[in-house]
Structure 1
Amino acid sequence: MRKIIFLLFLIPILGISQIELKGVLTTGNSGTDVWEYIDPNNGKIYAVVGGNGMSMVDVTDPANPVEVSHLTSVPGFDVKVWQNYVYCVTGGGGTAQIVDISDPANPVIAGSWPSSHNIHIDSNGYLYASSPGTTIYDLNPNPTSPTYLTDIGTEGHDVTIRGNRMIDAHGFAGTYIYDITDPSSPQFLTIITDPDITYHHQGDFSTDGNYLYICDELGNHPQADITVWDITDYGNPTKVDETADPSATPHNLYVIGDYAFTSYYTAGFRVFDISDPSTLVLADEYDTSSATGEGFAGAFGVYPSPTTGNIYINDGSGLYIFGFDGLLG
């Protein structure tokens, strides 16, 4: 017992990063994706929460989150923010909708476009809609009416953009990487396929861009949950590490600095240390879900904000706001 107490005492001295629960809201909308919006007029911070529609939660004081609006007339499977708009998709076909959140307490539907399963919006205002295929739109001419640019592939599932490179997690077909210096004309760089990966669900690059982390949402133990690939040679991507949990399934993973922030369904929220980008080391975890086993219950959406240091987990049980001292360095 003395040794355990001594080690716990050493944690802050050694500077080991830990998860901090800042706040939780279990009475509002929740269940799917989550993002962040900072009001440019007053600096207030909001979590944009998907689930039964889309809701705005004031997290300026993260210990006391308050749902200020809930719009149930729009889809809420995936939600992403560009300027003062939230882009909401169904998770399948039908119509996606665009919501003006200039007044977070009174969001207004401002436009629509054909829905997809997931979306990603890069810092230059290009929207990437995944499944079926990957369709690229330009939001700059008119954010309420996305301008079609091009489409690639036939399956698709999720996209991540880092700089001028696109990760196209293409489901059963593999993970593709493209150069999107010109978003209207993506240039193929490489594809990763592996018989041990059932479904290429989502992924992200290491900070140095030399490694790729792929989440397999349909992998069952002993299959790996997350694999690590050395992509320094696009002609020969090489698997260098993997992690597997027999009792949980990963969903999404986002890299900032030396850490990968992961929603891990029934296991909740996990942070991996990737200071050595070729290796995944579990740094800390927080179980947000009472569910157990491999499957899709529990922590679905994750968004680590490099601006506020908040990390949001959207779980079927509620919205969780975390801190992690390694996020902001």
Structure 2
Amino acid sequence: MRKAAVNRLKAGMVVSRTLFGREGQVLLKAGTKIKEKYIKSLKRLGITGIYVQDERLEGIETAEVVQDSTRQEARLLVKELINEMGRNKKGKFHCQQEKKITRVVNQIVEELLANKDIVVNMDDIRTIDSYTFSHSVNVCILATLAAVKRDFNAEALQEIAVGSLLHDLGKVKIPDIILKKKGPLTEAEYAVIKSHPVYGRALLSESALCAETVLNVVYQHHERLGGQGYPQGLSGAEISVPAQITAVADVYDALVSERYYRKAYLPHQVIEMFTSWAETYFDVEVLRTFFSFLTAYPVGTHVKLSNGKSGLVIKNKPGFPLHPVVRVLY
């Protein structure tokens, strides 16, 4: 199985992992033979790649970080919540929303605990949807897995999962014209954006989800180790560890995602960026935790080696995101 760019798909290839749409509907089932009309539809939907079978990688499988059904449920919940909070001028949670959030994050925690030794490729957790909804779920999965790696207890895992899933909730108070602006923000617009952690904490503080860890994650996820962040300009140990973890997950997913104003960076480029930011913006130990499970070159990636030979990535080694195991082809 390997990830193939849609513009390089050919009729007759076989889908190896079920592809889901924006509303959780199945677009292409695993085992489906690709036809030209499917390729055209994928391009029209803006899908850039899918997993296909490859006999050169026979017997090599990649484990799911969380089940597709769990990921889809979480994404739809975030979408529903953000839409409701945007319409609700009082901005209050109701009991059913709190119960749904608790159930979904408990499922995510349970599945990550069962897969704590997994190596993560962002393509494995990304869904086809607007950035806001998929980003919230991606950050939740990444931050919670980092907390699992650091042996957080059950209560702390649930709280970081809730906080990271809802870390951008305050953006419901930010006008779309600013959130979706394609060009550079003005100083005044950036000041408005920087208010979303304050709004997020206020929205959550009156709910049953207002544990201190949750509020810290929502309020502090844009703080930076050297005091360069917002809204308070906290530094070092003033920033809670769950918030520091969520900050890394937030920035990582943002950089590997395509945005209104730029193309997505490649995973290996982002890992190199984080390496250069260690001790300035992000804690070294927190980064080491992420590097223990992130991968720059997913299984099935075609790579050119330093000796000029070509190969396919067949395995990733925990803790060595830039050094995969490669099967040489020619």
- The structure richer in helix per residue is 2
TM-score between both structures, scaled by the size of structure 1 = 0.28
TM-score between both structures, scaled by the size of structure 2 = 0.28
